[in-house]
Amino acid sequence: MKLTERDLAFIVEYIAACRDVDDDAGLGNLLAALRLRLGSTSAWTGTCDGDTSHTIQISGNNAGAAPLSGCAPTQNAFLEPVGTGIRSCQSDNNGRSACLFMDIPDSKPTSDILRYVVPHLLDAVARVTSRPALTSLPPLTAREEQVLRWLGEGKSNWAIGKILGISERTVRFHLANIFQKLGVTTRTQAAAVAIGVVGIRAPDQPCG
């Protein structure tokens, strides 16, 4: 059976979404979308090294990472029947591994879609799970926290400088320190980390 236009559109959109995802919540959305598209009763994704801190489970029972154990990731995301479903594991050139299990019968339409999208999903899993999980922010100075609060509100460097009474060059200096402490490379990532961990938001009134 050939892939339908609907199948191809889903594949193109899904691959694009995999490239953009940068956190566990995004991975959960990807996994949920794939489960719904293929009619799977449950799905898991995570790393192949036994670390369950990033294991994501959508629906199903509470078996946790059980379907992700005992796998042997290769550089090709092969599909293999495991129990009542399909599993695919993959490793990259940096030694990062990722695994997917879906409780779904092995059928040609399903397999064809998975063969296209799974390598990109597992790339995203490996990329996100390779980052250290943050439960609290690294120590920030009072000024760095002020800059980060306004960054989370979408303010430009110029606007942050005006609000805080500092130069745009000083704002860039604080942002460089913030990026280094949070282990991020973009303004969006910095704001997302801060908001996701401690709910940092800009105050109602400008900070002095």
Predicted local distance difference test score (pLDDT) of residue 73: 65
pTM of the predicted model as reported, rounded to 2 decimal places: 0.58
Question: Is residue 155 situated within a structural domain?
Answer: yes
CATH number for the domain that contains residue 157: 1.10.10.10
pLDDT in tens, 174-204: 999 988 888 778 887 777 766 655 455 545 4
The residues, any chain, with a CB within 8 Å of residue 29's CB and separated by 6 or more, are 17, 21
pLDDT at 206 over 50: no
Burial label for 15, CB within 10 Å (0-12, 13-18, 19+), is middle
pLDDT in tens, 55-88: 666 654 444 445 666 666 666 778 888 777 888 8
Question: Is residue 173 situated within a structural domain?
Answer: yes
The count of domains in the chain is 2
Same domain membership, residue 124 and residue 147:
no
User: Hunting for tokens 């280094």 — which residue is that?
Assistant: 180
pLDDT at 53 over 70: no
Tell which residue, 25, 27, 31, 50, has the closest CA to residue 127: 27
Average of per-residue pLDDT across 142-151 = 87
Domain range enclosing 99: 5-129
Same domain membership, residue 92 and residue 151:
no
Tell which residue, 129, 131, 57, 47, has the closest CA to residue 91: 47
Same domain membership, residue 125 and residue 33:
yes
Predicted local distance difference test score (pLDDT) of residue 207: 40
Question: Is residue 44 situated within a structural domain?
Answer: yes
